[in-house]
Chains A and B, each alone.
Chain A
């Protein structure tokens, strides 16, 4: 490769110009770039957790509209806000008949994803005297929102909310849940810390 032909010179020059251009665009984007923008659900807009939205149908768009077979949305129990109730309306179907143990006979979660266990010092005689922890199994929950609606004020403390699992979410440009969401509760933004 002793001498460059004129043609090669032009080629190099054009490629160099293109590289500079692409580099410029990349630099501009990189300066602005963020690491963490992702789809998030605004709990104040989601009809299942929105305060004051009572007597409305449960919205299960998060469970049905995700492109994934098991939705990327999960119900999350914020433990510090959980009342650890004896009768949790998000765990029990509180309208079901009471069994011999004094508890409702049916559970609310259609996928049986919530686990209930007594915590702290356990009263052997009076189960109502205990606090209970409610843990939602991530691998079972599909984000249908029933427990969210049941735990909301004024029936409960509203400690359960729907949240997007960012490790599962494909972060589609046209997030199909966001387009189906009747409340425009989906937003692409910096997730809460």
Chain B
């Protein structure tokens, strides 16, 4: 024991003299521990307190967040597909904005997780936590069954745009389609930059995240400017980020193409009045049918429907 102490003291002193500092394991910042007084020396029953280690990641928090995300997705699906209530959808949007956006500071974010997942798939030495897998997969799964309910009810980035949309104008369909292809480019660019070798890796989705600066009430200037621009534009153009840039929106439009259920304008009750078409700020209703790939499940169309009351609670089975 004494011998061990001596040896470690020698090692410590060597370090103290500036030796081999560079050759250490990064976690290992060995200091001359043995010159520090021990509990016995300090006396009077003194016990060295526990080092204030950074508390480990709180797993319950992540489980809670994942459960809330899943719950919110199911709730959104129920509200939009079953209850068909714009009011409830709106309320859910506000709650999700408050929690996932402002309270969790925009970091329950499937959009950014694309990059992490891409890196984990491409780089054998990299992995993502279970939590991120869940965050990435849950909305896609939801879209496979219920359409883009994540966009409509849960996504904080969508929600903040949803709230500022005051005077929606219809974007000409051709322009809408052209701009809509931008998100694919963005997705490809983000994945390509993320899977670069570690040194050159760049997470552009996070770097140019338009709204996270607002959620945190602080952020780089460029972020705030981009966010401000999107919000200004969003006063008139419904959810410009979601429709034209969001790379996760691109993925969701892919899986929602196959979705089991989706927002539907009930064919046997429709009036061909076109009010729903006008009410849709996202250009997602074509020929009186909601286009699943671009429908953001906001439930505005139901609200505008003159037979809304009868629509509500209509058997979705009959609808599809």
A contacts B: CB pair < 8 Å: yes
Interface set, chain B 172-231, CB cutoff 8 A to A? 203, 206-207, 212, 216-220
Q: How far is the CA of A165 from the CA of B29 in the complex (A)?
A: 18
**Are B21 and A51 in contact (CB-based, < 8 A)?**
yes
**Are A35 and B144 in contact (CB-based, < 8 A)?**
no
**Are B127 and A170 in contact (CB-based, < 8 A)?**
no
Total number of A-B contacts with CB less than 8 angstroms? 172
- Chain A residues with CB under 8 Å of B43's CB are 120-121
Which chain A residue shows the least CB distance to B34?
Answer: A81
**Are A44 and B29 in contact (CB-based, < 8 A)?**
yes
**Are A80 and B33 in contact (CB-based, < 8 A)?**
yes
Q: Does B56 contact A (CB under 8 A)?
A: yes
CB within 8 A of B130: which of A35, A49, A164? A35
Min CB distance, A51 to chain B, in Å?
4
**Are A35 and B59 in contact (CB-based, < 8 A)?**
yes
Min CB distance, A71 to chain B, in Å?
12
Which chain B residue shows the least CB distance to A50?
Answer: B21
- Chain A residues with CB under 8 Å of B287's CB are none
**Are A84 and B37 in contact (CB-based, < 8 A)?**
yes
Min CB distance, B91 to chain A, in Å?
27
**Are B144 and A79 in contact (CB-based, < 8 A)?**
no
**Are A119 and B216 in contact (CB-based, < 8 A)?**
no
Q: Does A182 contact B (CB under 8 A)?
A: no
Min CB distance, A144 to chain B, in Å?
17
Chain A 55-76 interface 0/1 with B at a Cβ cutoff of 8 Å (1 = within): 0000000000001110000101
- Chain A residues with CB under 8 Å of B317's CB are 1
Stretch of A89-97, A102-110, A151-159 that contacts chain B: A151-159
Min CB distance, B258 to chain A, in Å?
5
Interface set, chain B 10-33, CB cutoff 8 A to A? 15-16, 18, 21-22, 24, 26-27, 29, 31-33
**Are B51 and A131 in contact (CB-based, < 8 A)?**
no
Q: Does B35 contact A (CB under 8 A)?
A: yes
Q: Does B293 contact A (CB under 8 A)?
A: no
**Are B137 and A83 in contact (CB-based, < 8 A)?**
no
Which chain A residue shows the least CB distance to B55?
Answer: A167
Q: How far is the CA of A83 from the CA of B42 in the complex (A)?
A: 11
Q: How far is the CA of A167 from the CA of B53 in the complex (A)?
A: 11
- Chain A residues with CB under 8 Å of B66's CB are none
Q: Does A161 contact B (CB under 8 A)?
A: yes
CB within 8 A of B133: which of A30, A79, A172? A30
Given contacts A51-B21, A173-B116, A187-B26, contact A77 B203 (CB under 8 A): no
**Are B120 and A32 in contact (CB-based, < 8 A)?**
yes
**Are A77 and B33 in contact (CB-based, < 8 A)?**
no
**Are B46 and A119 in contact (CB-based, < 8 A)?**
yes
Q: Tell me the interface secondary structure of chain A in the complex.
A: loop
Q: How far is the CA of A14 from the CA of B254 in the complex (A)?
A: 12
Q: Does B275 contact A (CB under 8 A)?
A: no
Q: How far is the CA of A30 from the CA of B132 in the complex (A)?
A: 10
Which of A40, A82, A119, A191 is most buried by chain B, counting CB atoms within 10 A of its CB? A119
- Chain B residues with CB under 8 Å of A79's CB are 48-51
Min CB distance, B111 to chain A, in Å?
11
**Are A15 and B258 in contact (CB-based, < 8 A)?**
yes
**Are A192 and B27 in contact (CB-based, < 8 A)?**
yes
Which chain B residue shows the least CB distance to A10?
Answer: B258
**Are A161 and B44 in contact (CB-based, < 8 A)?**
no
- Chain B residues with CB under 8 Å of A176's CB are 220
**Are B207 and A18 in contact (CB-based, < 8 A)?**
no
Q: Does B117 contact A (CB under 8 A)?
A: yes
- Per CB-CB distance, the 4 closest pairs between chain A and chain B, nearest first, are A120-B42, A43-B29, A32-B127, A173-B203
Can you pick out 21 interface pairs between chain A and chain B where the beta carbons lie within 8 Å of each other? Answer: A15-B259, A22-B144, A26-B137, A29-B127, A33-B129, A42-B27, A44-B29, A49-B29, A52-B18, A68-B216, A69-B218, A76-B53, A79-B50, A81-B32, A83-B35, A119-B42, A135-B49, A154-B16, A159-B36, A166-B56, A172-B107
A-binding residues in B (CB < 8 A)? 15-16, 18, 21-22, 24, 26-27, 29, 31-33, 35-37, 41-44, 46, 48-59, 105, 107, 112, 115-117, 120-121, 127-130, 133, 137, 140-141, 144-145, 203, 206-207, 212, 216-220, 255, 258-260, 317
B-binding residues in A (CB < 8 A)? 1, 11, 14-15, 18-19, 22, 25-26, 28-30, 32-38, 40, 42-45, 49-52, 67-69, 74, 76-84, 119-121, 131, 133, 135-136, 138, 153-154, 157-159, 161, 163-167, 170-174, 176, 187, 191-192
